[in-house]
Amino acid sequence: MTPREIHSEIVTSGRLSSAQIDGWRQQGYALVNGLIDPSLQQQMLDLAEATFPAAGSAAAEKVTGFGSNGALVFPSPHTIFNEITLDSALLQAVADLLGTEIAQLRLTQSDLWPKYGRSERQSEQDNRDQRMHVDYPNHSLVHPPRWDAPEAVELILYYSDSADCGGETAVVPRTGPEDPAYRWPIIDAPGIGDLRFVNDRAAAEAYLSEKAPEMAQFRAALYEREARIAYVPGDLLLYRHDTWHRGTPLKSGARRLAHNMTFRVAVAEWVSTLHPGWAWSAYQKDQFFEKWIGEASVHQRCVMGFPAPGNAYWTKETLAAVTARYGIFGFDPTPYEPC
């Protein structure tokens, strides 16, 4: 059976519609386009094109696994990357999905990376044809809370076209609270409990049919129900730590560029930060990080964990001290003035 294809919906008013929000909350995903300014995305694409090996090149052969190995992660010396990561329409969309304010969001992942198409898998940890999975095990110290109280939004912003590259992300749309595919707790995957982590689909399912046959059967139904994200450039897949999904093979020789991001609510401290973070960026040449802090909006700073206006941190003394550090880079203390 050919899997069903999912196509994006255009966001018209700069904000997700209530149907799109509801789709994410009920089915576990939404696929939209038009949230982020196309000219920003074009700048980002130009940078990504220049950063990563071309499709079919010898250098591309050596690239495996997830992520850019630090090449395009937050914070980046390339301001465009930071601007897209903390884009105001994107932050508003995430806040709308979680039913919260932008000031309550925290960034935990931002990594733009290339995936290359190969005809064969290289090992059982290859991400070419992934096993069905949920992402929480490497994003959370615990388990996602109950379905109707989500604490994080994951997303993939695609810069390529699935018609050229293949490599559609597959998702299992949740049909409702009684959907057997979403039985709780969500532990039916390799890498959880005493099951070893296996990324490749064929290897994972062979392992599970030996080790946990009931689980293998349960998972066979997930593959049967998967729908494919037929992405075009600018498409934004919004999903969750408890959404069943997987990466599927790219066309041989193709390159897909996609940007993964995750935001959590501030209180969910057990949701881990996946990118290297900013600590060592504060000692880099050109002081790109301090410049970024100086120029960022109050919301953007907040989503990085900088104290929000009104936070008890802000006193006359701390405000003067922070201004002494960042004033040279354009930091405006006004919004942080204590009452």
Ligand X SMILES: O=C(O)CCC(=O)C(=O)O
Binding site for ligand X (CB under 6 A): 66, 115, 127, 135, 169, 245-247
Report the residue number, 96 or 205, with the smaller CB distance to ligand X: 205
Report the residue number, 84 or 258, with the smaller CB distance to ligand X: 258
Interacting residues toward Fe ion by CB under 5 A: 135
Distance of closest approach, residue 245 Cβ to Fe ion, in angstroms: 6
Distance of closest approach, residue 219 Cβ to Fe ion, in angstroms: 15
67/113 Cα distance (integer angstroms): 5
Asked if residues 153 and 98 have their Cβ atoms less than 8 Å apart, the reply is yes
Report the residue number, 135 or 151, with the smaller CB distance to Fe ion: 135
Of all residues in the shown chain, the one whose CB is closest to ligand X is 247
Give the single-character DSSP code of 175. -
Distance of closest approach, residue 105 Cβ to Fe ion, in angstroms: 20
Sequence-ordered list of residues with C-beta below 8 angstroms from that of 42, at least 6 positions apart, any chain: none
Backbone angles phi, psi at 257, to 5 degrees: -110, 125
Q: What is the DSSP string of 140-169?
A: BSS----TTS--EEEEEEE-S-HHHHB--E
Report the residue number, 165 or 322, with the smaller CB distance to ligand X: 165
Report the residue number, 166 or 294, with the smaller CB distance to ligand X: 166
18/16 Cα distance (integer angstroms): 7
Distance of closest approach, residue 113 Cβ to ligand X, in angstroms: 9
Closest CA to 98 of 138, 143, 148, 139: 148
**28 contact, one of ligand X, Fe ion, none, CB 5-8 Å limit per kind:** none
Distance of closest approach, residue 316 Cβ to ligand X, in angstroms: 46
Closest CA to 144 of 288, 215, 241, 17: 241
Report the residue number, 259 or 301, with the smaller CB distance to ligand X: 259
**What per-residue string of b and e applies to 101-112 under the rule 16 or more CB within 10 Å gives b?**
ebbbbbbbbbbb
**127 contact, one of Fe ion, ligand X, none, CB 5-8 Å limit per kind:** ligand X
**66 contact, one of Fe ion, ligand X, none, CB 5-8 Å limit per kind:** ligand X
Distance of closest approach, residue 312 Cβ to ligand X, in angstroms: 38
